[in-house]
Chain A
């Protein structure tokens, strides 16, 4: 069974930074585009960022452009999301996914003073 396990979430003050990780196992990680999708409390799913198979192409939702950076390490089967200049409205569960049939369990990011 495929596993995508996110980590790195937590409580951070506005303006702070966090780095999320997503470890993939039993999954041909290096063959897939990967994405981060977030879900604010009680709200729907929102796409955040994508990266292609070798990390040379990335894209971002307008709401996070210039503040978040996606990257990957195919040797370690790991996806990352560096989140800087965090705002209160970035508070959400962040999911790592291939947007196909593989989703992680999510990691909660809370931005609050």
Chain B
């Protein structure tokens, strides 16, 4: 158990809908990263937050947004969902935002868009 929690574990929804994925980092970790793992694109970095502020953006669609709250949990919002958004979404956390620390991953949320 990495100490990172993600809810829900599974999510099934329809095209055009909006969903929110939640992540609680390990105790003491200030940085949260979101990654998408899909069959055709592999693992891709979406976005990073550090202590409540956006730090870096990767291949995140405009339909997707995220935030990190004062208690350091983070939410990833996916809207106007398309079939291609079906994927496993991982959250990872680390102590600080630097190259020296390791990212620990949550169990992921499997999103299925029908």
- Real binding pair: no
Binding site for A on B (CB under 8 A): none
